[in-house]
Amino acid sequence: MPSERPKIAFAITGASGALYAVRTLAELMARGIHVEVVISDYGRRLLRDELGDEATVEKLLPYLAGKYGDKVNAGYLTAHSNRDLGATIASGSHNCSAMAIVPCSMKTLAGIAHGLSRNLVERAADVMLKERRRLVIVPRETPMSLPALRNMVLCAEAGAMIVPAMPAFYQQPRSLDDLADFMAGKILSALGLEHTLYPAWTGKVESDRSS
Ligand SMILES: Cc1cc2nc3c(=O)[nH]c(=O)nc-3n(C[C@H](O)[C@H](O)[C@H](O)COP(=O)(O)O)c2cc1C
């Protein structure tokens, strides 16, 4: 029953990094969460361009199960139209506890920073801010313009957590999936969820390791 599960809103917009989105989504689903997904038009294009025809919105669940295993079926996925401003997550009365935008384009970032609510992604994000719930924004662009930098500050001041798509290398990644694991772990942490997607920094330097 979806109503008894914890609910998290999850948006995918048209910035590079579809692998981060599907990895994070799979982890949320594996926890039995009801994930309310909204994908912008360019987010849809991103999924197809970066992950192929098997990762279209319509085939997202089988794609996740094929890549990350049947454990993703523990969750419940609802897909909302980005044009539907009457969807559940558009209202503060809906008990969705948090939202992540992975990845977040500079355009959507600007819309959130200025409270525009032009579509469901921006409105659901605005709901999180006004209700003082967790909003995790994962921007991706480089280099960053001054307006983009200022928009991140505006969102952070309004209460959002800015988690740039910047994987680390201390965990010695060997594959793109390792990098995606790191980012998904950072996003889960920002959402207040425990995980083992990357090793915690032990504080040991190289000379300690060999002794
Ligand atoms: C292949 C491709 C890659 C893109 N990568 C980025 C990116 O990394 N960051 C970004 O801010 N915009 C990027 N864009 C531009 C956005 O997709 C564009 O501004 C779009 O209007 C964003 O709309 P949305 O936020 O509603 O998805 C990219 C566009 C394309 C087609």
Per-residue model confidence as pLDDT tens digits over 54-87 = 998 889 999 999 999 999 999 999 999 999 999 9
Displacement of CA 69 from its chain's centroid (Å): 19
C-alpha to C-alpha distance for 80 and 7, rounded to whole angstroms? 14
Q: How many CB atoms lie within 10 A of CB 49?
A: 13
**Mean pLDDT for the stretch of residues 100-106:** 98
C-alpha to C-alpha distance for 121 and 38, rounded to whole angstroms? 7
Distance 16 CA to ligand 1 centre (A): 7
**Which residue has a Cα nearest atom 30 of ligand 1?**
14
Report percent pLDDT > 90 for the chain. Answer: 89
What's the Rg (C-alpha) of the chain?
A: 17
The finding on whether 13 has its CB within 6 A of some atom of ligand 1 is yes
What number does the ligand 1 atom closest to the CA of 16 have?
8
Tell me: the pLDDT tens digits for 171-208?
A: 899 999 999 999 999 999 999 999 999 888 888 766 66
The finding on whether 40 has its CB within 6 A of some atom of ligand 1 is yes
Tell me: the pLDDT tens digits for 13-57?
A: 999 999 999 999 999 999 999 999 999 999 999 999 999 999 988
C-alpha distances out from residue 166 to 74, 79, 106, 139, 186, Å: 29, 27, 15, 9, 10
The finding on whether 43 has its CB within 6 A of some atom of ligand 1 is yes
Q: Nearest 10 degrees: CA dihedral of 24, 191, 165, 28? A: 0
Tell me: the pLDDT tens digits for 127-161?
A: 999 999 999 999 999 999 999 999 999 999 999 99
Strand order in the sheet with 7-12: 76-80, 34-39, 7-12, 98-104, 134-139, 161-162
98-104 vs 76-80, strand pairing mode: unpaired
Confidence (pLDDT) at 208: 63
Confidence (pLDDT) at 206: 63
SS3 183: helix
C-alpha to C-alpha distance for 153 and 105, rounded to whole angstroms? 15
Confidence (pLDDT) at 199: 84
Instruction: Tell me the two tokens of residue 53.
Output: 């025809």
Confidence (pLDDT) at 2: 57
Displacement of CA 155 from its chain's centroid (Å): 16
Cis before residue 167, ω within 30 degrees of 0? no
